[in-house]
Amino acid sequence: MFDPVIAPSGTLLGLLQRGRGDGTLHALTAPRAEALAALNHCVLRDPRHDWQVENRSLYYARLYLDLNGELDEIEAHLFDVEDVFDTEESRTGLALAVLGHLASYGRLDALELLRRYAASGSNWAWALDELALRDDDAGLRALAAPVLARFATDAEGEAELAAVVRDAFEPRPWRLWADDPRESVATRVRAAQEAGCFDRWQRQMRPSGPRPGWSVQAVFEWAQQGLERGVELHIPAARCLMAVAGPEDRPEILLAAVDGTDGARCTAVRYLADSNDSDAFDLIERAVTTGSQTVVEAAVAAFERMRSVAAVDRARGWAHRPDPLGAAAGRMLACRGGVEDRDLVLGALREAVRGEGPDAPTLWTLVDGTGRLGIACAAPVLRHIYRETASSHLRGRAARALAATDPSFPAGFAVECLWDCEETTREIAARHAETGDTRVVEQLRRLAADPAEEAEVQTAVRSRIGPDGPAV
Q: In what helix (H) or strand (E) does residue 435 lie, and over which residues does it extend?
A: none
Query: Between 95 and 187, where is the model more confident?
Result: 95
- Phi, psi for residue 73 in degrees, rounded to 5: -70, -35
Buried b (16+ CB within 10 A) or exposed e, 364-386: bbbbbbbbbbebeebbebbbebb
With beta carbons less than 8 A apart as the criterion, state whether 133 and 157 touch: no
At 308 the pLDDT is: 93
Residue-wise pLDDT tens digits, 13-37: 999 999 999 999 999 999 999 999 9
Residues in the chain: 472
pTM of the model: 0.89
To 10 degrees, the CA torsion angle through 264, 266, 271, 277? 110
* Rounded Cα–Cα distance for residues 350 and 364 (Å): 13
Please give the pLDDT value at position 467.
52
pLDDT attached to residue 466:
61
Query: Please, what is the Cα angle at 229 between 223 and 230, to 5 degrees?
Result: 90
pLDDT by residue (tens digit) across 26-82? 999 999 999 999 999 999 999 998 888 899 999 999 999 999 999 999 999 999 999
pLDDT the model gives residue 196: 57
Q: Determine contact, residues 44/95, Cβ cutoff 8 Å.
A: yes
Cα dihedral: 111, 93, 454, 168 (round 10): 80
The pLDDT of 379-387, averaged and rounded, is 97
Q: Which of 158-167, 211-220, 290-299, 367-376 has the lowest mean pLDDT?
A: 211-220
Q: Cα Rg for the chain, rounded, in angstroms?
A: 27
- For the chain, the average pLDDT equals 91
Whether residue 347 has pLDDT greater than 90: yes
Average pLDDT over every residue of 142-156: 92
For the chain, the distance separating the N- and C-terminal CA atoms, rounded to the nearest angstrom, is 46
Query: Please, is 25 exposed, middle or buried when counting C-beta atoms within 10 Å of its C-beta (0-12, 13-18, 19+)?
Result: middle
The whole-number average pLDDT for the span 333-351 is: 96
> Please, which pLDDT band fits residue 206 given cuts at 50, 70 and 90?
low
